[in-house]
A and B are shown apart, each in its own frame.
Chain A
Amino acid sequence: MKDLLASFAGWGVNVAIALTALRTNLMRSILTTLGVMIGVFSVILAVAVGNGAQVSVSQQIATLGSNMAIVVPQPDSGSGPPRSSDRGRLTERDGQAILREVSGVSAVAPQIRSSVQIVTPGRSATTQATGATPEYGIVSNITASEGRFLTQSDIGSAARVAVIGETVANKLFPDTSPVGETIRINRAPFTVIGLLESKGSNLGNDNDDQIVVPITTLRQRLLTTATQGPDDVTLIFVGFEDEDALLSGQKEIERLLRDRYRVAKGKINPFTVRTTTEIAETTGEVTQIFQAVLVAIASISLLVGGIGIMNIMLVSVTERTREIGLRMALGAKRSDIRNQFLVEAAVLCVIGGAIGLSLAILAASIFERIAEFPAPIGLDTAIMAVAFSAIIGLVFGGYPAIRASRLSPIEALRSE
């Protein structure tokens, strides 16, 4: 116990010695600390931005709706972009067949997507129109915050009605409520029947920059590019009752569609069925890679900071060789000398780490406010920063410290 107290007191002394030494060369200490500071700052910020990207992506996935499969008439090209030349077909009747024959399906929402030009007196906007059915609202969890969403009778009568997103509404009707107003979509007059509930934006993708019109109306009035058949759709959302149904349903949809399009054995599917679970996984992987790359780049600056520490510690040991010799003559053991320089490096690193962490927290909050992008710095990140700095201190301060401790007392004492 007494030994323990003594050794603890010894560390306290080492901190005092280190602070004195660092104060003696204040400018040099500040410059050295700066390296670690920038390193810790950039690593923490990179982690925060990566975390933010993950949060953002999972929010985006959540807006898609859960337990849903998305069927598109493009061959599964793996990770690459779909090739338009291989474009297959997908029809509303396929959707009906899925609802009828695949087990566990709660709703099917066929959609046609098209870019449209909207004009009101004095204003205009270009946005994406989704031709949909009331099931679209159910499957992807979309409701109207004002007015109403599409109904079955809108579809049956191919009514010229539109439910518009908040971004579109703000562009066209900055001062008034859009519900009940008339807008011209690709020159045809439509009545705004509702305002889509806001889903915000993630990763620069504005979920509110869209309008929804009846699928029948869109096909008859707005489609500018010719489709292959009268009931072709751009994609189908298939809602499932639960996750188990989704997992088995994905295979069932593929089998059903292969049958319907008579795809020969061995040929690849001319369509792709993706589940929200898969999308979440893939994008999760992508953002993790994104984060890893960011952290790797930031780590280089931390490494450079660490090398700066090592450099300065080597200079410090050389400059103070005589002092080391004196301390040895007065009874310092090798471990005392080693600890003295380790503590000096650690103090530099911890100060740098603390300032770097504070600046990173500040930068993250500014970033959140300006870029509206979450960059959360949690307790784990803060602890990581402290641990990082300590490790840098031990690793890069270790070599100079050990070198100092290996000096022969008499050689050290004789040096000028």
Chain B
Amino acid sequence: MTTPLLETHDLVKDYAIGGEIVHAVNNVSLSISRGEFVAIMGASGSGKSTFMNMIGCLDIPTSGTLLLDGIDTKSLDSDALAEIRNRKIGFVFQQFNLLARTSALDNVAVPLIYAGIGYAERRRRAQDKLEAMGLANRLQNTPAKLSGGQQQRVAIARALVTDPLMLLADEPTGALDTQTSLDIMGIFQKLNDDGITVVLVTHEPDIAEYAARRIVFRDGQVIEDAAVKSRRRASAT
């Protein structure tokens, strides 16, 4: 097998809160290969979000090593990290984080702006991804005119528009009802079947069951890392 997509060695993130140092992530070593579907679980404050922020290059580790696609991120400056976020990672957030008063098409095209892609090409690619998400007739809708599920699909299209290696989804179903959550998980499973690596952060055990591998955090450390036994399938719409 080739190098893992993601590798961490003794990854540590400390926060100083009220003069006391809190180890939000404490010596985590793990690796995620290409094509995996991983659910990161844990209670609030377990360190799962901090871990995800670090592997998403949004936050910088206090110590330890983080290799992303074979690149040691420690040596990278903020511009190089921005480029990694742009080219290799697609983010999906709980609150969708779409730009208000901006059409679905323009929202999806945003990452391409920072990739230096020209206007016509941006629109073409954004439209392709939105159509793949079943939103062909919603291109010009602003977020306010889209349902929660539709907004999250726009956000997924945006995450995919630069053809990243990995999707990082932070509680992507946290703001959605059960049926819509199921739809979204179906989309993730289908994308994963097509070869993209998906890393999902959730605190809901039944959502984690759609993943293939489950990593559980507690007090900044991994307490469980195993394949999901009875994996659920959701049919994508």
Binding site for B on A (CB under 8 A): 3, 5-7, 9-10, 12-13, 20, 24, 322-323, 326-336, 408-410, 413
CB-contact partner of B87 in A12, A331, A410, A413, under 8 A: A331
Q: Do residues B118 and A331 form an inter-chain contact, with CB atoms below 8 A?
A: no
B36-72 CB mask vs A (1 if < 8 Å, else 0) is 0000000000000000010010110000000000000
Chain A residues with CB below 8 A from B118, complex form: 5-6, 9
Asked, given contacts A9-B116, A330-B85, A333-B82, whether A24 binds B101 with beta carbons under 8 Å apart, the answer is yes
Q: Closest residue of chain A to B101, judged by CB?
A: A24
Give Cα A336–Cα B110 distance, bound, in whole angstroms. Answer: 12
Chain B residues with CB below 8 A from A329, complex form: 56, 58, 85, 91
CB-contact partner of B78 in A20, A326, A334, under 8 A: A334
Chain A residues with CB below 8 A from B99, complex form: 323, 326
Q: Do residues A331 and B56 form an inter-chain contact, with CB atoms below 8 A?
A: no
Chain B residues with CB below 8 A from A3, complex form: 116
- The contact size tier of chain B is 20 to 34
Which of A5, A327, A331, A408 counts the most chain B CB atoms within 10 A? A331
Binding site for A on B (CB under 8 A): 53, 56, 58-59, 78-79, 82-83, 85-87, 91, 93, 97, 99-102, 110-111, 113-119, 158, 162
Can you list 24 contacts pairing A with B, beta carbon distance less than 8 Å? Answer: A6-B118, A9-B118, A10-B113, A12-B119, A20-B101, A24-B100, A24-B101, A322-B97, A323-B99, A328-B82, A329-B56, A330-B91, A330-B110, A330-B114, A330-B158, A331-B82, A331-B85, A331-B86, A331-B114, A331-B162, A333-B79, A334-B79, A409-B58, A413-B97
Q: Closest residue of chain B to A336, judged by CB?
A: B114
Give Cα A89–Cα B118 distance, bound, in whole angstroms. Answer: 85
CB-contact partner of B114 in A24, A323, A333, A410, under 8 A: A333
Q: Do residues B116 and A10 form an inter-chain contact, with CB atoms below 8 A?
A: yes
Q: A329-B56, A410-B58 are in contact. List 9 more A-B contacts (CB 8 A).
A: A12-B119, A328-B82, A329-B91, A330-B91, A331-B82, A331-B111, A334-B79, A335-B79, A336-B114
CB-contact partner of A410 in B59, B102, B162, under 8 A: B59
In angstroms, how far is the closest chain B Cβ from the Cβ of A192?
Answer: 78
In angstroms, how far is the closest chain B Cβ from the Cβ of A94?
Answer: 83
Q: Do residues B83 and A331 form an inter-chain contact, with CB atoms below 8 A?
A: yes
Chain A residues with CB below 8 A from B110, complex form: 327, 330
Give Cα A329–Cα B119 distance, bound, in whole angstroms. Answer: 21
CB-contact partner of B97 in A12, A326, A332, under 8 A: A326
